[in-house]
Structure 1
Amino acid sequence: MMRYAIQWVRSLIFNTQMYVAMLVLGVLFFPWALFDSRGALTACKTYARWVRWTASWIIGLKTEVRGTPPTEPVLIPSKHQSFLDILMIFAAVPAGRFIMKRELMWAPILGQYALRIGCVPVNRGKRGAAIKKMMEDVASGAAKPGQLIIYSQGTRVAPGDRKPYKVGTFALYKQLGQTCVPAATNVGVFWPRHGVYRKPGLAVVEFLDPIEPGMKQAEFMEHLEREVEAKSDALMREAGFDPDAVG
């Protein structure tokens, strides 16, 4: 009980300084970011490194990126469990840009920096219209060249939960004609969707084998879900969590 209480307090300290750092870095980099997207990119990279570094010694949560992070323009469909996997993927690639929910545009600091680095906001829940608008924004250059990251389940998914993969990923895969590099993770075991508490351990994001252009929709979606879910489950088991025991 005492160990849990100490870790909870450490988690509270970590969470507090994480948001203070976002504010401080956001203000410091704002003049550069306002006139040059490289300023926004540098600010976001700096913040991602800061959070990973402070997590390692404040709450004992180490982070590790496995596989080969892509450096060329690719589509990255990823498992999404918490804010941490966003930071880890972004830190691992040179020019990451996310397909993000439109509400984040209005988030202080975070939303404006996301737009400056070329993230593409979409309306969730409007299905066909949202996909159409997303594809138009990508085609028109709203997403700059780089690594386009999409969460194929459309939201954060807690460890052990099962949610369907959405067809928007295939729509982008077909439209872009680029190699697809999926990513799996176990970060939700340590950094849950809600609450203060953060567990110590080793959080992993792993880039998987590339999927070359040209697959048909059914084949692509089945392959993507099978590979990402299997590897994510394996990483969660490595972290001491059995995803099959939930529910």
Structure 2
Amino acid sequence: MLLLRSAIFNLFFYLWTLLLVIILVPVLAWPSPRPILFVGWVWGRANLWALGVICGMHVDFRGLEKIPAGAILVAAKHQSAWETFAFFIPFRRPAYVFKRELIHVPLFGWAVWKAEQIPVERGKKGGTLASITPGAHDAVGRGQQVMIFPEGTRRAVGAPPDYKYGVTHLYQALGVPCQPVAHNAGLFWPRRSFMRRPGTVIVECLDPILPGLPPEEFAERLKTAIETATDRLVAEARAAGA
């Protein structure tokens, strides 16, 4: 039954994503990125609904009242593809840091570019951080939430943390509050897995980190906050039978 439900959801997910990408084609001519961001919200909302109906996977957003108003830096745990669409719900004007090569994907890449997201040239010697700074500054100027996964790639539940310097660089460069986010999505939507497991994904927005801390202190505070909360949320889900 788990395999069948996962297959049905995955079919829905890819067909729904394709349909929205096609719908986005005329929206690309719109002068503002807001319609594309709205479609992103619809994409996330429908996917969460389908996960609940088909797979019995629900979500509990906690601490939303802690999110500062206006432009912020959001630093979140990255365990699966789930958070890439689910975070459209609590963060309505996101500007994701993403791999520049995705721009070349037909339709999808054009929509990402039009939505004024932040490309990063990974592997460019000495230029990776420089490549994201202008786009991040522009996003902050528009009042958006700059979204970054500090570990750079998806990490399995329980894997040792591997935080990169990029989030600290943006914290220093942007001068806005940083919103740490922990979750346990990897228990229910594991990375590199076909399976979508029943249960409740818990997403917790932690206490914001105000600007002005020294880089080393910020990096340690961020890592400790996210990892401690993530371990707690994983333990809570496992105690409930995940």
What displacement does 1:144 show? Answer: 4.1
After superposition, the Cα gap between the structure-2 partners of 1:147 and 1:220, relative to the gap in structure 1 and judged at 3 Å, is same
Whether 1:67 aligns to 2:67 is no
- Aligned position for 2:101: 103
Write out per-residue CA displacement over residues 166-196 of structure 1, whole angstroms, 9 at most, x where no aligned residue. 1111111111110111101100010011121
Distance 2:238 2:51 in 1: 19
Other structure's SS at 1:34 match: coil
- In 2, the alpha carbon distance for the partners of 1:233 and 1:104 equals 32
Deviation, structure 1 residue 152: 0.4
Tell me which residue corresponds to 2:178: 180
Stretches of structure 2 lacking an aligned partner (at least 5 in a row): none
Moved more, 91-100 or 136-145: 136-145
Q: Within 5 Å, which residues of 2 pair with 1:114-133?
A: 114-126=112-124, 128-133=126-131
Q: Structure 2 residue aligned with 1:38, among 34, 46, 54?
A: 34
d(CA) in 2 for partners of 1:26 and 1:108? 10
Q: Which residue in 2 is equivalent to 1:203?
A: 201
Decide which moves more: 98-107 or 172-181.
98-107
Alpha-carbon RMSD across the aligned residues, in angstroms, is: 1.8
| TM-score where L is the length of structure 2 | 0.91
CA distance in 2, matches of 1:61, 1:185: 14
In the other structure, the counterpart of 1:49 is: 45
What is the aligned counterpart of 1:147 among 135, 145, 152? 145
State the secondary structure of the residue aligned to 1:203: strand
Query: Does residue 58 of the first structure (1) align with residue 30 of the second (2)?
Result: no
Question: Is residue 14 from structure 1 mapped to residue 9 from structure 2 by the alignment?
Answer: yes
Is contact 2:176–2:211 with CA below 8 Å preserved after alignment?
A: yes
Match of 1:165 among 163, 166, 175: 163
Alpha-carbon shift at residue 102 of structure 1 (Å): 1.9
Percent identity of the aligned residues?
Answer: 33
Determine the structure 2 residue equivalent to 1:23: 18
Q: Distance in 2 between matches of 1:237 and 1:181?
A: 22
* Closer, same or farther: CA 19–207 of 1 in aligned 2, 3 Å: same
- Amino acid in structure 2 at the alignment position of 1:39: P
1:139 CA displacement: 3.2
Shift of 1:33: 3.7
TM-score (normalised: structure 1): 0.89
1:181-221 deviation digits (Å, cap 9, x = unpaired): 11011000100111211110001211110101110011000
Q: Give unmatched runs, 5+ long, in structure 1.
A: 1-5, 242-247
Q: Is the Cα–Cα contact under 8 Å of residues 72 and 147 in structure 1 kept in the other structure? A: yes
